[in-house]
Structure formats: C-alpha cells, structure tokens
Structure 1
Amino acid sequence: MGYILTEEGFQDALKELRKEYRIFAPVRKKGAGRFTDIDAVIYDEVEEGSPIELEEKSDYSAKEVLTPLSETLFFFTEEQCKEADIDTRPVLLFLRSCDLQAMKRLDDMYLHNGREQDWFYQRRREKLHYVLIGCGHSYENCFCVDMGANITKDGYAFSVDKIDENYRINVLEEAVRSAFAASSERQEEVVPRHVTENEVHVTVPETIPIEIVKHPLWDEYNTRCIGCGRCNYACPTCSCYTMQDVYYTDNGKVGERRRVGSSCMVDGYTNVAGGGQYRKTQGERMRFKTLHKIRDFRKRFGYDMCVGCGRCDDICGEYISFSNIINKVAAAVEEMEKEGSKNA
C-alpha cells in the first residue's frame, strides 16, 4: 500500500524517521561545481527533507556513504590493534535505481568474491536501508535501460516520487510504515516511476573474445585520456583503493591504517616492487576498465558491472564517452566474428 503526502507531511515523516535513522541523500551545494557559479549535487547527511534533491541526477554516486573516500580501518600500537569505531545507527540512503543496482554490484565484490567477506564493508552495509528515488525521465548520457538497471522492484525500504507538489510513497519495509501512515493525506496504490527509454543506446556483446585486448580501438585513448581518474570517482561501481599507513611516531610503531579511494586510470596505480608497471599507457588502462565493466565481472557474477548511469560521460574533462566505447567494442567484436567466419 502506498501513501500520498503533502510537503508538510513528508517533512513530518522524515522528522519521525530521524529519531531512529541517519538520513543521507543527494543535496545541491551552491558553487561546489567546477566553477564558483556552478552548483554540484552530492551526497550528504540531512536533518530534514527540504535539502534533498529529487529532480536532478547527482554528480557523484551514493557509494561514498558505504565506501568513504578515506576510511580509517584500525589503529595500532606496539602491543595492540583496535578497529576504528563507526556510528552504529541505521541509515536511510536516498538513491535512484541505477545506484541501487550499483550497490548490488558492490555487495558482490566485497561480500561474495571469495571465501572471506570484507568485514569493514559488511559492518557498514548491515546498517544500510535504501530509499528509491523514482525517475520520471531519462537524464543526459544515461543508458540504464540497455544495461538493465532502470527498474528496481524490491530491496528498498520505501520509494519516493514528487509529482505536482505531492510525495508518492511506496513502503516495502514495515519498520518505516508508521511514519508515513501518520502523516499521509490518503492511501492508494503507488508504483515508483522508472525510465523506459534513453536517448543514448549501447549494445553489449554476449561474448567478447580475449583477442579484443589487441584490437587497435584502444590506441586513441593513449592521447585522448589524461589519466585524471574522475570517471572512476564518479562511477557507482568502481571500487579501486589503496592502503595507507599513517604513523604517529618516528619509529613507525604507532599509527593508523586507512583505505583510500583510488583509480585504475591514474599513473602509478599498477606499480609493483622492483619498478614494474602492469598498464603503462592510458589505452591499456581504458581497455582494463572497459572490459572489467562488460566482460570480466559478467564472467564471475553473471551480469554486467556497468549500470549505465552516464556519470563518467558527464564528468570527463576530455569528453570521452564510455557508451561510445562500449559500442566500439561491439563493432569490433562483430568485425572479428565476420573475419573468423571468412577464414573458417
């Protein structure tokens, strides 16, 4: 059953939920964009509903709530080690379908990717409850429909759609129902809005042969890509990080260990002991990132890593389009298949 709330009713419902939950949502930050006269929509903790941006797609994803850019994992001395404390209150996280689908990808990588689960990720994940923001239309550079991330039917506490000054709420978790029941104007069936058509389209090949790594399509990115890593930081499914030890004493026996977000596209990320480097050129790095999104992840988990949010296209300073890269891979695979049939 769904609920219809006015602006005041929605504020009252969130005020009630704030008694138990911390709330994180996309918020418009004045002058926080690439220039002082450009705003940015980023995630932050909110005390009430009015700052929440429900109309525009956020510039950065919701993953920073679950995997902070810099997170202290534990503190150490010569004699003991202690895990860093975190806020243990449950969290309500507002996000769109593509981002919610991206969180499932992160769950697979951190929790279902081998014998052991990432404990530091798990303890945050256990506190997290999703709030689905309905999408009334597609945004620039989005290709979520072709990636199958445009619709989410479960896995969230409640959904919210703001239509004609009213908030339409669909509740799935009973724990939050009373907050909306007490503040609603009326009850009726509510189905969260979702995108059914994007202006941008991609074709992901069913199978991508390993020979694609030698295809010349990657060469143009040796000069086009500047290796800034912005695409990775904006992406909701990128999870690269580095480990940093911060020492409080000169002898290096007291300090803390941090997990810090990083990027497979930046110079130095694949450096190894002895001066080796696995991927030296930007073309090689673009190849690695792309095939990880639409080939390698699928081989392990059965579905693609990319959710088609388009943020990488939005943020790239060199106007490199990831959707175009996917289509170039599809064209190259088709070309290779034709050549193979001719030589058969």
Structure 2
Amino acid sequence: MVDLPPGAAEVAADMERIAALPGDVRDRVPELLKVLHRLVPSGGSMVHVLNPELREFEGMGESGYTEAALAFMRGSDHYREMELLGMDRDRPPMCVRDAPVPPGELQSWAEFLEPAGYREGVGLTLFSRDGRHLGLITLHTDDPAQPTDEVRDFLGLLTPMMAEAVDPMRSIVTLSRIVADAECGVVLTRAGNVLPLPGLPDHPLLRVGSPVLEVAAAGLREGHVHNSFLCPYPAADDPGGHVQVTVLPCPTSAPAHLLAVVLTSPAGDLRGLTRRELEILGLLVDGWSNQRMASELVITQRTVAAHIEHILDKMDAPTRTLAAVRALRLGLYVPKPLARTRR
C-alpha cells in the first residue's frame, strides 16, 4: 500500500485530465510539468522522448539545466547510463539515492548535475500500455531530502498516465484515421524501419525492405504532402488484385525520427483499368514517352498508344497530362518500382 502525499487526489485528477487532452505531446508537457512541480519542488526538469534507432533522446520540455548538460542528456552516452541503472526497462521511479551504482560514477551526475548544485532527483521511465519504450522524465532538486520516498512511490502510480500524455503515437493514430477504410498500417522511420501503428495490424507489403516503403519515402523526398498509389497484391479470388497504399507525413510535432504513416486499404473502383494500364499510368505520372514505355515493356509503340487511348477514355481525360494528374489525385496508378511486385 502506497502512502499518499498531501494533495494526492487533486494531483491524480489533474494528471488524468492532462492525459486526456487533445493535441500533440508538446501541448501537454508544460501542463504535466506544472503538476509534477507541486510534488517535487524541482530546480531542473525534463521530458525526453526516446529515439530507439539512435538510442538518443529528444527534448519535449526542459528547464533548469545548462546547454552542455542538455546536450549530454539527449545523447547516446546518457542512454547507456540509463541501461546501467536499469532504466531502459519498465520499472518503478528511481531516486539518485536508489541508484545501483554510486552517483559519482555517472558522468551526468559528476560533470553536470552535482556541480550545478543538484543534490537529489528522480527518474521515471515511460512505457506505453502495449510495451513501447517512450522515454524518460527526470526531476532534480537542490534539497537532498526531496523527493521523499512517499512522493517517489506516488509518482509510480501516476507514471502510466504520464506515459499516455507524452505518447507521440496518439497524434499519429489520429492522423491515420483520415483513411477511413484502412485495414493495415505502420509508422515508417527515417532510417527505413517500421514501428507498429496502434489499432491496426501490419501487412506483408509494409515490412522492412519492401519496395512499397521505398516508394513511400521517395514520394516524401519529392515533396508530396499526401501520396496514394496502388500496389499489385494477388489474392486467391483475384489474381490481378491490388491494394491502395496511402502515405501521410507524420505531424511536425512528432519525434524527428518518425517519418510517415503508411496505410493499406481496399483498391476500390479502378474504373475498369487493367493491370497493364495501371502500370502505364504510373509511367505517365513519371512523364515517360511512348517510345521509352515501349522499350521498357517490350511492346510496340502502337500497342502503347492503344493502351493510352483506353486510359484516356476510362479516366475521362482529353490529354495524357490530365490523365496523369487525375491518377495522382486519385492514387489510381502503379509506380514503376512496384509494377513487378508479387506476394
């Protein structure tokens, strides 16, 4: 049974309110820290979100530290300290006095925190309900008696709500709901890895190394704010089947290592376009000439011209340029790198 500090009920209610606030993590962090300062009269505080690829941290809210201290605590050396302390795991809050190694052996404490006048502190590891390591909250004080054991243990009860408040996936999940018929999805990182998208399963086409993800990243590099295209995906009842792929850039407020949401959904109305015509539309989108298409597809230019005539009719477009514009807007084409994709 945890002994509760004075005002615990009000603090818990405020934490619950903050965790439920809409918007992104940067909107909620200042409110969260205000409440924490009522429990821990801290001279220094920070909320850091983890970049698991670089094993570094990104600051979402920081105060009371020198730039040199912040540079260290955002870096991989600090992450290694967290591993040494066991704070890379989902565990109760840890005060400096609880550390399994002497504080003086930690570079962050010996070089930056103790010289700045800090004498105690508490660290809270943040994990989502589905087990994702989200980051870290630390509070440091110049009073060696603060925080008390009572406050430390109470912070442990509040940690799940704090994790909910700083989870960057919340705004990303909200973004993904733009595609109402999405059946699968992942979050693509700048390093080319994928993270689960809460609420949706993954898809064979959305796994690391997939050409679909390469096309998605290329579209973002080319400046497409929203990109949608088709990918061949044969099914037992539809050997010529496709899935729609939609690429949505992550909000600017999301951690920098998160690039985009990539979703799959049913292909929908293809306007009677054949698989070959959808591939040719992809080449039209890229501005290919009939001669170049014929060489690539190993068919005659006359056959290419016939395909394009059928495409213009089905797209209700008087010119190939307008057909390409409509295909881009509707996501009604197969990009060249996917034209030979198979299950």
What TM-score does the superposition give when structure 2 sets the normalisation length? 0.25
**Structure with a larger share of its residues in helix:** 2
What TM-score does the superposition give when structure 1 sets the normalisation length? 0.25
Q: Which has the higher contact order (CA 8 A, sep 6+)?
A: 1
